[in-house]
Structure 1
Amino acid sequence: MTTSAVLFDMDGVLVDSASLHVRAYEQVFRDAGIEFSMAARDAVHEGKSRSEVIGIAVPEASAAIGQALFDAKPNAVAKLLRTARDVSMPGATRIVRALAERGVAMGVVTNSVAPEIWLAVAEVLDLMDVVVTGNDVSTPKPSPEGYLLAAERLGVDPAACIVFEDSLDGCLAASRAGMRVAVLAATRPAWADGSFEVVPTLDSPGALALCLPAAARDFS
């Protein structure tokens, strides 16, 4: 089936955000006098939502403390982003621009509730046709809800979409939506079965070839 749309996860796919997210959480938790656990750090790198990360970090916290941490996180990220330089993953801006030049519909599906500032810093926000955030769905990845919503907003068949992801939850979400999935990884992760394609970076010819086979030769 011809590809009608290309969808991207944000964290770890379009933007290299995990380390900055961890720094923001550490600042918020330090200000609250609470340790930010290693398990919570791992959850950030796995692409878990803000509420999930906080729940892992402080499972016994009161609702008020949890909400205060939740509310403080975006401001901490924004402060760090103001001094950040290039936050884009290798090849991200290049492939997005290449697809835009060829008229391919694109979107971002992320558990993040405030992705626009990241996408703007990475210089890809204006090239996206849809952005589905954690605020748009009732259940985060691995639920397919976000990807199905993106296909609906684009007016395309989910089966005609290809998705670039980097986490198990994200790949499961896209697969459950009936979409073709490409994992961004140097080598095939242990959890990635044969139904998932694997590409090392977005600036590899293989990444564009998955979207537009005829255009791959121009991307080397």
Structure 2
Amino acid sequence: MKTSTFTKGILFVAVLGTAMVFTSCKKNKDVIKHDKDAKEIIIPCKDEGRSDKNFFRADASATSQDMSLSREKALTAAKQRVAGLINTKIKSVTDRYVNETEVGTNSDFEQKFENLTREVVNKTLVDITIICEKNFQESSGKYTTYIAIEISKDAMLNGINSSISKDQKLRVYYDKMKFEQIFNEEMEKLSEEGGY
């Protein structure tokens, strides 16, 4: 009788385990089903707008009755996106830099450094390169512009280094090699994350 109870116990555990395996496997095999008339939408300049370890990139689109206005709106939106991306990365770099160096307790340095980098970003946005631009006239007569832009990582670093060299207080705490090392590591992460 002990064997029968033991066998039933093993059988119960085996059935329970099998049920769990099938249930968990089913979740991994869920496929997104589209309506039969669904079509994939390919967005022009989207792939060109992905950042990598050497460039900050962004893409955007805009529609207007006037073609030059649609271009201007798309370019402005792309600049805003790339500026946001740069500011986020610079903030990460600055936080790590402050924590990994003896600057850690100097909040004045951190604040001043962030202000300086914002100024550098704004100046550097003038030097963007348009790497993709496509214009379409819709059936409604409106124009849609898709655009992708980039800013070199080196241009950002050079701008930061140049600005710091002109500020005596920041220069005291600034270790160029350490900052560039952290900056490059953060750019690698950005590239590995798919560029957004």
- Greater RCO (CA < 8 Å, at least 6 residues apart): 2
Q: Which has the larger radius of gyration?
A: 2
TM-score, normalised to structure 2's length?
0.30
**More helix, by proportion:** 2
TM-score, normalised to structure 1's length?
0.28
